[in-house]
Amino acid sequence: MSPPARQSFGPGLWLIGGGGHAKVVIATLESQGIEIAGIFDDRQELHGRTIMGRPVIGPIPPAGAGVDADARAVIAIGSNKARAEIAGRYPDLRWETVVHASAVVHDSAAIGPGAVIFANAVVQPDSVIGAHAILNTGAQVDHDCEIGAFAHLGPASTLGGGVRIGSGAFLGIGAVAAPYTTVGEWVIVGAGAAVVRDLPPRTTAVGVPARVIKRHSSSP
């Protein structure tokens, strides 16, 4: 029988989300020797099981759930919209910033709470990584870039110096942005695309050079 669902955040580090992205978050925590208390996920079929040896306790606690003074958490979900929604539920929860041991992050860079930086990523001087942003495996961020909260740079994506990535934006695998370009809020840049001019908010852009093919009326 599955254990009863836990409806609060006890002491320790908790993961919110138990999909494939969570496996990479776990690997990143392992690289730093950080222990995980457990995983919350709304999919009932996962309850009582383990992911990479870590127990799935039960569903994601509701807004207003109890938070122990020693609780910390990471939102281990790749969806930018989902991370933004979940982060807003728990104003008293301390969000853990997680950086893989193999990542290179310059001391002058600022990394926001809840951000995750995966293996072999690089963050160069004076760049700013927003809260709950994801720098996926091998992502490259050059000097003086600004990555908004809840943004996601896909594996092997590359930013030249001075690039601005808006909140909630997503760059697909291998996408690149030329120096001092701006990718607006909640933009989706397709895999392998090359951003050589500014992209307006809430659009989808693909190709080389990247061109807008769709506009979104709200956050995707």
Tokens at 152, concatenated: 């996601």
Distance CA 166, CA 85 (A): 17
Residue 143 falls in the annotated catalytic set:
yes
Which of 132, 143, 152, 216 is flagged as catalytic?
A: 143
Residue 183 CA, distance from chain mean position: 17
State the sign of the Cα–Cα–Cα–Cα dihedral 205, 201, 76, 61: negative
The b/e string for 93-132 (b: 16+ C-beta within 10 A; e otherwise) is bbbbbbbbeebebeeebebbbbbbbbbebbbbeebbbbbb
**Amino acid making up residue 52:** M
What stretch of H or E contains 80? helix 80-87
Q: In what order do the strands lie in the sheet with 152-153?
A: 98-99, 116-117, 134-135, 152-153, 170-171, 188-189, 203-206, 211-215
Distance CA 144, CA 164 (A): 9
Mind telling me the catalytic residues?
143
